[in-house]
Structure 1
Amino acid sequence: MVLLRMLLLLCIGSSLVEGVCSTNVNIHAELEKLRDVDKRTQKLEETLDKVLKENKALKTIVHDSRKQLKSLQTRKSLQNCDKKVAFSAGLLESGTRNIGPSNTATTLIYKKVFSNIGNAYDSNTGVFTAPIKGAYFFRFYGHCHGGTTMAVSLLKNGATQCSLHAFKPSSNSNASNGVILTLEIDDRISTQLWANTWVYDDPASYTSFSGFLIFPL
């Protein structure tokens, strides 16, 4: 912009010098023309500077808008992933055996994971941890042999919610129970074998634990 201004002044100055050599030149008029051109050049520079600043501001707005849009899309994608929560697992990964009896209650750890969408169930601890607040459905099954007592409870943060029970059946016995629970983030769900009771499982996965998110809250 400064270079443009200097070139304009140089051209006009040259014309003025040429005019001075002429007998018909009006020095006062030529000086006024020069001042007028100088003013117009200055306004042009100011306008150009304003346009450049506005263009820079516009680029910043566009950049920020793109970042916000990308952030919203990422959050929406994560929310959609978080809404997909479901798991199902059998008690034994392989083999055949009884769990229990024990003098104390025992948390059942289901090792044969059929599905674990959302990775909310931990097969190392037997605990499901709610990733989002919502309404969840849980179902658990137990199997025992004749003459043995089976009793299993479903716990929410250590508190019993519902149970299944079979008192020394004459032959093999199955029992199940289910419940819908409202969970907050990080609420913990597990099943617990009562003290002095047994539960049985084999590759058919008679004893199992499942749950899924019905809808978020």
Structure 2
Amino acid sequence: MLTAETTHQGYKPPIYTVLKELGAMEEKLAATIRALEETNKKLEATEKKLSTLNSTVTKVKAVDKGQPRVAFSASLQINGNIGPVNIIYPLVYRNVLSNIGGHYSPHTGYFTAPVRGVYYFAFTSICWASSESSGGSLYKNGKHIVSWYGFSKNHPTSGSNSAILMLQAGDMVNVHLWSKQMISDNENNYSTFSGFLLFPM
């Protein structure tokens, strides 16, 4: 049987329940605020990274926009052989495959650097004649840089080489066939001279 005392002891006014619920809500709100603050910090860090990335892309575009386009590739445009000759013979690659910027001359065989920078050059060769050797060099301003050489007694021989060169504006690069050597080509463009600007300095 409930007495007035026991009933009073077990009774909790509504205000206490409300205050308890408010306390729980405050804890949840505080936790939510902390989570939002952490999210904001991450968003700020991401925004800074994006801003840095955008700045880098803008700078790269500006550099790329100002960089000259320089590239060429050409083959000998012969249907047969050149040589053997008794001199160091400058090769003229007349069949122009590409000449971006127009700095390779199919009339002289020379590439002339338009700007100071780092350039890549490559050349390939084939020699149809058996018992004939094929050799030559890449020249910069008349000075030998790198070479190729091949010899085969019973079948065609081929060769190639490449170089990365630091050039000043006006420097000239071409390919020479060595004395008493032979080089061949046909419509398949086996013997080529190519180059391009890697980056200005």
Give the TM-score normalised by the residue count of structure 2: 0.66
Cα distance, 1:121 vs structure 2: 0.2
Aligned counterparts of 2:192 and 2:131: Cα–Cα separation in 1:
21
Alignment deviations for residues 155-204 of structure 1 (CA, whole Å, 9 cap, x no partner): 00000000000124421111100000000000000000001110000000
Q: 2:166 aligns with which of 153, 177, 182?
A: 182
SS in 2 for 1:121: coil
Alignment deviations for residues 46-76 of structure 1 (CA, whole Å, 9 cap, x no partner): xxxxxxxxxxxxxxxxxxxxxxxxxxxxxx9
Q: Aligned ranges for residues 1-217 of structure 1 at < 5 Å?
A: 80=66, 83-92=68-77, 95-145=78-128, 146-217=130-201
Instruction: Give 1 or 2 for the bigger CA radius of gyration.
Output: 1
Q: How many residues align?
A: 138
Aligned counterparts of 1:125 and 1:119: Cα–Cα separation in 2:
13
Structure 1 moving runs of 4+ over 6 Å: none
Residue type of the alignment partner of 2:162:
G
Identity across matched positions, percent: 39
> Could you list the runs of 5+ residues in structure 2 that have no partner in the other structure?
1-61
Residue type of the alignment partner of 1:199:
I
Aligned counterparts of 1:147 and 1:109: Cα–Cα separation in 2:
24
Aligned counterparts of 1:196 and 1:152: Cα–Cα separation in 2:
10
Larger helix percent: 1
Alignment deviations for residues 92-130 of structure 1 (CA, whole Å, 9 cap, x no partner): 1xx511011111111000010010001110000000000
SS in 1 for 2:93: coil
Contact 2:151 2:157 in 1 (8 A): no
What's the RMSD between the two structures over aligned residues?
1.7
Residue type of the alignment partner of 2:91:
L
Give the TM-score normalised by the residue count of structure 1: 0.61
Aligned to 1:39: none
